[in-house]
Amino acid sequence: MSDIIQNLKAIVGEDNLLTDELSRQLYVTDVFTRGPAALAVVRPTSTEQLAAVVKAAVDADIPVVPRGGGMSYTSGYVPKYENSILLDTSMMNKVVEINTDDMFVTVQAGCTWQDLHNALKDTGFRTPFWGTLSGVYATVGGGLSQNCIFWGSALYGPSADSVVSMSIVLADGSVLDTGSAAHKNGTPWYRHFGPDLTGLFVGDCGALGFKATVTLKLIPQTPARRGLSFAAETGDQLLAFASEVSRQQLATEVCGFDPFLQGQRLKRESLAKDFKALGGVMKAAGGFGKALKAGAKVALAGRGYMKDVKFSIHTLVEERYDELAAIKEKAIRELAKEHGLREIENSIPTIMRANPFGPVNSMIGPEAERWLPVHCVAPHSKVRDVFKAIGELYEQHAEDIEKYEIGCGYLFATIGNSVTVIEPVFFWPEALNELHKHAVEKEHLSKLKEHDPNPDATAKVYELRKGLIEIFTRFGTMHMQLGKSYPYHEQVKPEALRLVEAIKQQVDPKGLLNPGTLGLEAK
């Protein structure tokens, strides 16, 4: 062990090798789970250092696990084995190239979505998918490892649909370029060159290789924006409307909340008093008159308008030209009327879009409860049946849900024109872990009273999560950020699994790259 520590120190330097107890525990903890303590946390700053670290670990027969921004809840970077090496990519955070001739941007894998957004802000261009809500921490490489969604997903699909090329470090320390960069004389401007090697490393959570650089498409920025919000009486009504907006490709973002999750949001500080949020709205509105009008509208709406709202759904139209945005805005209003929805103030999409990468305080409840999402990616034809089955599961466990004070809510979203996401979320009284205390703003945390350990309630949440995954499996739905929580190896057909296992054997013969992810182990 001392030999590998010295080898790693020689590669990255003493400052980028962490062996203190806090780091060894913090970096193996995600939103829900904690793994065995790491041997060390290594922070490379370049592709060359990343490759050397991976080779050194594998040569020493030590498991090595990549970690991006740490916002996962599916044990993706939580090591399976004690004394693994945790590879923190956050120091690989540079924007390498912005190429507006060939319409791509290349970043190091540890670049956050917020930093990428800021780098492109004054160029007139953006990526189609441009980040997660946790983008202040979440990284581009981590997002692609998990195939994440949110900003831009309702129109442009998940992060996977915006990536062109990647440089991947394999277990032997070699570097594989994908897409047009795999050409002997190529650069990373186009994805499809023979078999789609780029797609192979999307959603793998580091099981097949570690992302060093990522190249994404560029498109012109979309300054003409229209936020629209609606109230629905039932989840079924909301889902029917969301699916139709998705099919007709009318919005870049579509997200909705059930009454419980909506109530959780409203327990937090009033939107009207959030001066940072209002400042973002006014800045995003443009001219002085527009800014005052936008800020005043949000402030006056406050949160009182939500008191009589059961389910709510929020859409964002973004286009290059006002005329196109107005056409889509009109079409969404007509669809809402057809589905019996009532239009309400658009404060939520307005504030969210103006402040896309806020603090991650919502990774705990408004009263310091623990928070756990579970999700499924469903075709429009099945999503309402899945929603009904979830409700039936909760009815079966209603007594225990009440006994352990478990709050059950829903987040709804759409991806592209064929997919709806249902994300059940749980809140329950339980002590916070190291990641919560590290990532949540200290000022926010200081106002809350932490709960005592509550293992019985947490065990019930585990049971409910298992029940949800069984429902999702029955309906044949998909998952993003598979990690070690969703049973990919049990759900996938044997022909596909054999191919994935063969690829794993080829690129990682010792099985030391994030072992256990996707259920993959060394043969």
Banded model confidence at residue 287, pLDDT cuts 50, 70, 90: low
Would you state the torsion angle of the CA atoms of residues 293, 294, 300, 305, taken in this order, to the nearest 10 degrees? 140
- Could you tell me if 215 and 231 lie in one domain? no
**Which tokens is 220 given?**
């012109």
Residue 231 near residue 192, CB atoms below 8 Å: no
Q: Judge whether 481 lies within some domain.
A: no
- Could you tell me if 64 and 112 lie in one domain? no
In whole angstroms, give the CA distance from residue 518 to residue 231: 39
Residue 310 near residue 257, CB atoms below 8 Å: no
In whole angstroms, give the CA distance from residue 426 to residue 461: 7
Residue written as tokens 């049971």? 463
* 402-431 residue pLDDT tens: 999 999 999 999 999 999 999 999 999 999
Question: Which one of 220, 245, 271 terminates a domain?
Answer: 220
Q: How much is the pLDDT for 435?
A: 95
- Could you tell me if 44 and 144 lie in one domain? no
Q: Judge whether 280 lies within some domain.
A: yes
- Could you tell me if 84 and 122 lie in one domain? no
* 130-146 residue pLDDT tens: 999 999 999 999 999 99
Residue 459: half-sphere exposure toward Cβ, Cα within 13 Å: 6
* 370-394 residue pLDDT tens: 999 999 999 999 999 999 999 999 9
Q: How much is the pLDDT for 416?
A: 97
Strands of 85-88's sheet, edge to edge? 17-18, 40-42, 85-88, 64-67
In whole angstroms, give the CA distance from residue 364 to residue 495: 41
- Could you tell me if 7 and 126 lie in one domain? no
Q: Judge whether 374 lies within some domain.
A: yes
In whole angstroms, give the CA distance from residue 184 to residue 172: 21
Residue 218 near residue 185, CB atoms below 8 Å: no
Share of the chain above pLDDT 90, in %: 86
Query: Which residues are CB-contacts of 466 (< 8 A; sequence separation ≥ 6)?
Result: none
From start to end of 348-454, where are the E strands?
Answer: 370-373, 376-379, 407-415, 419-428
- Could you tell me if 71 and 113 lie in one domain? no
Does the structure show a pLDDT above 50 at 275? no
Measured in degrees and rounded to the nearest 5, phi and psi for residue 378 equal -120, 145
- Could you tell me if 48 and 97 lie in one domain? no
* 448-490 residue pLDDT tens: 999 999 999 999 999 999 999 999 999 999 999 899 999 999 9
In whole angstroms, give the CA distance from residue 105 to residue 120: 9
Tell me the mean pLDDT in the region 277-290.
57
**The model's pTM:** 0.93
Residue 64 is part of which domain span?
2-90+510-519
How many other C-beta atoms lie within 10 A of the C-beta of residue 379? 15
In whole angstroms, give the CA distance from residue 73 to residue 53: 26
The count of domains in the chain is: 4
- Could you tell me if 346 and 332 lie in one domain? yes
Question: Which one of 292, 325, 354 terminates a domain?
Answer: 354
From start to end of 184-291, where are the E strands?
Answer: 210-217, 219-220, 224-232, 253-257
Query: Which residues are CB-contacts of 496 (< 8 A; sequence separation ≥ 6)?
Result: none
- Could you tell me if 37 and 104 lie in one domain? no
Tell me the mean pLDDT in the region 72-100.
96
Question: Which one of 220, 240, 262 terminates a domain?
Answer: 220
Q: Judge whether 283 lies within some domain.
A: yes
- Could you tell me if 310 and 348 lie in one domain? yes
Q: Judge whether 492 lies within some domain.
A: no
CATH number of the domain encompassing residue 48? 3.30.43.10
Residue 154 near residue 220, CB atoms below 8 Å: no
Q: Judge whether 168 lies within some domain.
A: yes
